[in-house]
A and B are shown apart, each in its own frame.
Chain A
Amino acid sequence: MVANINPIYARVSDVQVGGAVIGTNANTATDGTGANTYEIFDSDATEGSFVQKVVLKPISSIAATVARLWFCSATGTFTGGTTNTAGNTTMIAELSIAAWTASNSLAAPQYEIPVNFPLPPGTKMLMTFGTSTGAATTGFNPLIIAGKY
Protein backbone atom coordinates (compact mmCIF):
# COMPACT_ATOMS: atom_id res chain seq x y z
CA MET A 1 0.00 0.00 0.00
CA VAL A 2 1.29 3.46 -0.81
CA ALA A 3 2.35 5.62 2.09
CA ASN A 4 0.17 8.58 1.14
CA ILE A 5 -3.00 8.50 -0.94
CA ASN A 6 -4.01 12.07 -0.14
CA PRO A 7 -3.11 15.27 -1.99
CA ILE A 8 -0.40 17.31 -0.30
CA TYR A 9 -0.56 21.09 -0.16
CA ALA A 10 1.85 23.72 1.09
CA ARG A 11 0.92 24.92 4.59
CA VAL A 12 2.37 28.41 4.09
CA SER A 13 3.66 30.53 1.23
CA ASP A 14 7.43 30.76 1.01
CA VAL A 15 8.61 33.50 -1.34
CA GLN A 16 12.36 33.77 -1.10
CA VAL A 17 14.67 36.42 -2.57
CA GLY A 18 18.17 35.50 -3.66
CA GLY A 19 19.42 38.20 -1.30
CA ALA A 20 22.12 39.81 -3.44
CA VAL A 21 22.78 40.97 -6.98
CA ILE A 22 24.45 38.03 -8.67
CA GLY A 23 25.84 37.80 -12.18
CA THR A 24 29.10 39.70 -12.08
CA ASN A 25 30.87 36.53 -10.91
CA ALA A 26 30.61 33.79 -13.51
CA ASN A 27 31.03 30.05 -13.34
CA THR A 28 31.65 28.08 -16.52
CA ALA A 29 31.34 24.64 -14.95
CA THR A 30 28.38 22.53 -16.04
CA ASP A 31 28.81 19.78 -13.46
CA GLY A 32 27.57 21.71 -10.43
CA THR A 33 30.98 22.62 -9.04
CA GLY A 34 32.57 26.04 -8.65
CA ALA A 35 32.91 28.78 -6.06
CA ASN A 36 30.75 31.28 -7.94
CA THR A 37 27.65 29.25 -7.19
CA TYR A 38 24.87 30.94 -5.26
CA GLU A 39 22.22 29.46 -3.02
CA ILE A 40 18.91 31.04 -4.00
CA PHE A 41 16.44 28.76 -2.22
CA ASP A 42 16.56 26.66 0.92
CA SER A 43 13.66 24.26 1.42
CA ASP A 44 11.88 23.85 4.73
CA ALA A 45 14.28 22.02 7.02
CA THR A 46 11.62 19.70 8.47
CA GLU A 47 8.99 19.07 5.81
CA GLY A 48 10.51 20.23 2.53
CA SER A 49 9.01 22.71 0.07
CA PHE A 50 7.20 22.89 -3.23
CA VAL A 51 8.83 25.30 -5.68
CA GLN A 52 6.65 26.76 -8.40
CA LYS A 53 9.08 28.94 -10.32
CA VAL A 54 12.16 31.16 -10.35
CA VAL A 55 11.79 34.71 -11.67
CA LEU A 56 14.69 36.79 -13.01
CA LYS A 57 14.64 40.48 -13.91
CA PRO A 58 17.83 42.27 -15.04
CA ILE A 59 19.32 44.80 -12.66
CA SER A 60 21.02 47.67 -14.49
CA SER A 61 22.56 47.01 -17.93
CA ILE A 62 23.76 43.47 -18.47
CA ALA A 63 25.71 41.52 -21.04
CA ALA A 64 24.20 38.40 -22.56
CA THR A 65 24.73 35.25 -20.52
CA VAL A 66 23.20 31.93 -19.63
CA ALA A 67 21.57 31.38 -16.24
CA ARG A 68 21.85 27.88 -14.82
CA LEU A 69 19.52 26.56 -12.12
CA TRP A 70 20.74 23.68 -9.99
CA PHE A 71 19.36 21.28 -7.42
CA CYS A 72 21.72 20.51 -4.54
CA SER A 73 20.86 17.62 -2.25
CA ALA A 74 23.16 18.81 0.55
CA THR A 75 21.52 20.11 3.71
CA GLY A 76 22.78 22.62 6.26
CA THR A 77 24.96 25.66 5.68
CA PHE A 78 25.92 26.38 2.08
CA THR A 79 29.38 27.50 1.01
CA GLY A 80 29.90 27.97 -2.73
CA GLY A 81 32.59 25.68 -4.09
CA THR A 82 32.65 23.54 -0.96
CA THR A 83 29.10 22.37 -0.40
CA ASN A 84 28.24 21.92 -4.08
CA THR A 85 29.98 18.97 -5.67
CA ALA A 86 29.41 17.03 -8.87
CA GLY A 87 28.07 14.26 -6.67
CA ASN A 88 25.31 16.25 -4.98
CA THR A 89 24.43 18.96 -7.49
CA THR A 90 22.75 18.64 -10.86
CA MET A 91 21.32 21.07 -13.38
CA ILE A 92 17.58 21.67 -13.48
CA ALA A 93 17.48 24.14 -16.36
CA GLU A 94 19.42 26.63 -18.44
CA LEU A 95 18.07 29.94 -19.65
CA SER A 96 19.52 32.20 -22.35
CA ILE A 97 19.61 35.82 -21.18
CA ALA A 98 19.81 38.62 -23.75
CA ALA A 99 21.88 41.73 -23.20
CA TRP A 100 19.81 44.57 -21.80
CA THR A 101 20.36 48.29 -21.43
CA ALA A 102 18.73 49.80 -18.37
CA SER A 103 15.78 52.01 -19.22
CA ASN A 104 13.15 54.06 -17.46
CA SER A 105 10.88 54.06 -20.49
CA LEU A 106 11.05 50.40 -21.51
CA ALA A 107 10.32 47.41 -19.30
CA ALA A 108 13.18 44.99 -18.81
CA PRO A 109 12.47 41.44 -19.99
CA GLN A 110 11.26 39.06 -17.32
CA TYR A 111 12.52 35.49 -17.32
CA GLU A 112 10.78 32.63 -15.56
CA ILE A 113 11.98 29.10 -15.01
CA PRO A 114 9.11 26.76 -14.08
CA VAL A 115 10.11 24.22 -11.46
CA ASN A 116 6.89 22.64 -10.15
CA PHE A 117 8.32 19.86 -8.04
CA PRO A 118 8.85 19.29 -4.33
CA LEU A 119 12.25 19.61 -2.70
CA PRO A 120 13.21 17.29 0.16
CA PRO A 121 13.76 18.89 3.59
CA GLY A 122 16.80 21.13 3.81
CA THR A 123 17.85 20.77 0.17
CA LYS A 124 18.60 23.76 -2.03
CA MET A 125 18.38 25.38 -5.39
CA LEU A 126 21.49 27.12 -6.67
CA MET A 127 22.20 29.49 -9.54
CA THR A 128 25.23 30.24 -11.69
CA PHE A 129 25.92 32.40 -14.72
CA GLY A 130 28.03 31.16 -17.62
CA THR A 131 29.53 34.57 -18.38
CA SER A 132 29.75 37.75 -16.34
CA THR A 133 26.91 40.22 -16.71
CA GLY A 134 29.32 43.10 -16.04
CA ALA A 135 30.13 45.31 -13.08
CA ALA A 136 29.19 44.37 -9.54
CA THR A 137 25.97 46.37 -9.67
CA THR A 138 24.64 44.35 -12.61
CA GLY A 139 22.88 41.01 -12.74
CA PHE A 140 19.88 39.52 -11.01
CA ASN A 141 18.34 39.11 -7.58
CA PRO A 142 16.27 35.96 -8.16
CA LEU A 143 12.73 35.66 -6.82
CA ILE A 144 11.59 32.15 -5.92
CA ILE A 145 7.88 31.40 -5.60
CA ALA A 146 7.36 28.40 -3.34
CA GLY A 147 5.47 26.99 -0.40
CA LYS A 148 6.53 25.12 2.73
CA TYR A 149 4.99 21.74 3.45
Chain B
Amino acid sequence: MTIFWKIEYSHDLNVTMSPGYQILDDNRTTIKITDSEGNELIGGYDYSFVEETTAPVWWVK
Protein backbone atom coordinates (compact mmCIF):
# COMPACT_ATOMS: atom_id res chain seq x y z
CA MET B 1 0.00 0.00 0.00
CA THR B 2 1.39 3.36 -0.98
CA ILE B 3 1.93 5.80 1.87
CA PHE B 4 1.47 9.56 1.52
CA TRP B 5 3.02 12.10 3.83
CA LYS B 6 2.34 15.80 3.70
CA ILE B 7 5.56 17.77 3.86
CA GLU B 8 6.68 21.39 3.85
CA TYR B 9 9.70 22.16 1.73
CA SER B 10 11.89 25.10 0.91
CA HIS B 11 14.79 25.84 -1.40
CA ASP B 12 15.67 29.00 0.50
CA LEU B 13 16.67 28.08 4.04
CA ASN B 14 13.10 27.59 5.22
CA VAL B 15 12.18 31.22 4.64
CA THR B 16 9.17 30.28 2.56
CA MET B 17 7.76 26.82 3.16
CA SER B 18 5.61 25.24 0.47
CA PRO B 19 3.37 22.19 0.76
CA GLY B 20 4.26 18.93 -0.93
CA TYR B 21 4.20 15.18 -0.62
CA GLN B 22 6.63 12.42 0.26
CA ILE B 23 5.34 9.21 -1.33
CA LEU B 24 6.54 5.87 0.01
CA ASP B 25 5.96 2.25 -0.95
CA ASP B 26 4.71 -0.36 1.50
CA ASN B 27 8.28 -1.00 2.61
CA ARG B 28 8.46 2.68 3.63
CA THR B 29 11.03 3.44 0.98
CA THR B 30 10.52 6.81 -0.67
CA ILE B 31 9.25 6.61 -4.25
CA LYS B 32 9.33 10.35 -4.90
CA ILE B 33 8.95 13.74 -3.34
CA THR B 34 6.69 16.24 -5.06
CA ASP B 35 5.19 19.68 -4.75
CA SER B 36 1.46 20.01 -4.10
CA GLU B 37 0.70 19.57 -7.81
CA GLY B 38 2.64 16.35 -8.20
CA ASN B 39 5.76 17.78 -9.82
CA GLU B 40 8.85 15.96 -8.61
CA LEU B 41 11.13 18.18 -6.56
CA ILE B 42 14.68 18.47 -7.79
CA GLY B 43 17.82 20.16 -6.55
CA GLY B 44 18.85 20.76 -2.96
CA TYR B 45 16.03 21.57 -0.59
CA ASP B 46 15.05 21.13 3.04
CA TYR B 47 11.76 19.63 4.06
CA SER B 48 9.87 18.54 7.14
CA PHE B 49 7.28 15.86 7.79
CA VAL B 50 3.83 17.31 8.55
CA GLU B 51 1.41 14.39 8.75
CA GLU B 52 0.30 11.19 7.07
CA THR B 53 -2.47 11.77 4.57
CA THR B 54 -4.47 10.19 1.79
CA ALA B 55 -3.58 10.08 -1.91
CA PRO B 56 -3.72 13.48 -3.59
CA VAL B 57 -6.22 13.88 -6.42
CA TRP B 58 -3.49 13.88 -9.08
CA TRP B 59 -2.07 10.56 -7.90
CA VAL B 60 -2.42 7.67 -10.39
CA LYS B 61 -1.37 4.19 -9.29
Contact surface of B with A, Cβ cutoff 8 Å: 5, 7, 10, 13-14, 22, 24, 27-30, 33, 41, 43-49, 51
Residues of A within 8 A of B (CB-CB), count: 26
Which stretch of A7-15, A29-37, A103-111 is in the interface?
A29-37
Task: List 14 interface pairs A-B (beta carbons < 8 Å), by A numbering.
Answer: A24-B48, A26-B48, A28-B46, A31-B44, A33-B44, A34-B44, A61-B28, A65-B30, A81-B13, A82-B13, A99-B27, A131-B30, A132-B7, A132-B22
Interface of B: prevailing SS: strand
In the assembled complex, how far is the CB of residue A124 from the closest CB belonging to chain B, in whole angstroms? 18
Interchain pairs with CB closer than 8 A, number: 71
**A43 interface residue (CB < 8 Å to B):** no
